[in-house]
Amino acid sequence: MSGVSPPAASSQHPGDHHPRLLSLLRRVGAMLVDFVFPLRCVGCGAWDTLLCDRCRAGLPAIIPPCCPRCGVSQPDGPVGVCATCLRTPLNFLDGVWSGYRFEGVIREAVHDLKYQGISALAEPLGTLLGGHVRERFPEATVLVPVPLHPSRLRERGYNQAALLARAVGQVAGLPVWAEALRRVRPTPSQTTLNALGRRQNVRGAFTCAAPAIAGQRVVLVDDVTTTVATLDACAAALKAAGVRSVWGCALARGG
Ligand SMILES: [Zn+2]
Ligand SMILES: [Zn+2]
């Protein structure tokens, strides 16, 4: 679904002719999910909450020490820059911090947030990140979510990273510049690519659309990161626009 139909598309994909209607239906669908169905915990199914206290306390936190560059956990390794960063250093990010391993309840929660229309999950998940962002990046002045390509945004109806950033901002007391970055080309799925392949895949995929962001210190917000290639490509666009520092923050770390 990541491809973009040419303007004179044939009638092979009738849905492509009504992107606005589809988007509207998806948004209405997501609202119905939020309002009609009672709240259930994403982890254990307990009623009246999206994430119960017990499941929240048992989330798979990333175990330090972590690579100071990309933030990958290396509990058995030496404290310092990881092997991947030594081989292919990040060019633009000043640091990355992720909250949880991409497994268990976090994996379920991200799946429901992205693919099941449960957009309300962004609030408890972003709230979890908010306190850490203040602590880890005390010099930050602005939050910027990793943008979706417009075709993907129409498909989903919302950008989960922007919803997370809004919740993070409320806790951390930071403004969110949701339109600061644009994804100017859709990127194929990265799941089969290695670290270097992922970096080539997203190179030049983002531009900065907010010149006024020059001089700010930015924390990028994303739901899941694996090799942090996407975050580094976002940082490239922001640094080109004169941003002083760019850190990355992701709810979950895959790989
Ligand atoms: Zn639960
Ligand atoms: Zn690293």
Predicted pLDDT of residue 12 = 46
Task: Note the pLDDT tens digit of each residue in 40-79.
Answer: 999 999 999 999 999 999 999 998 899 988 988 888 877 7
Burial grade of 241 (CB within 10 A; 0-12, 13-18, 19 or more): buried
Domain spans, the chain:
61-253
Q: How far is the CA of 104 from the centre of ligand 2 (A)?
A: 24
Predicted pLDDT of residue 3 = 41
Q: How far is the CA of 106 from the centre of ligand 2 (A)?
A: 22
pTM of the model: 0.84
Ligand that lies nearest to the alpha carbon of residue 41, given by its number in the listed order: 1
Predicted pLDDT of residue 16 = 53
The CATH number of domain 61-253 is 3.40.50.2020: yes
Ligand that lies nearest to the alpha carbon of residue 44, given by its number in the listed order: 1
Predicted pLDDT of residue 37 = 62
Ligand that lies nearest to the alpha carbon of residue 39, given by its number in the listed order: 1
Q: How far is the CA of 47 from the centre of ligand 1 (A)?
A: 9
Low-confidence ranges of the chain (pLDDT < 70): 1-17, 30, 33-38
Task: Note the pLDDT tens digit of each residue in 192-213.
Answer: 777 778 888 888 899 999 999 9
Q: How far is the CA of 55 from the centre of ligand 1 (A)?
A: 4
Residues paired with residue 40 on neighbouring β-strands, in sequence order? 47
Q: How far is the CA of 51 from the centre of ligand 1 (A)?
A: 5
Predicted pLDDT of residue 36 = 60
Predicted pLDDT of residue 201 = 84
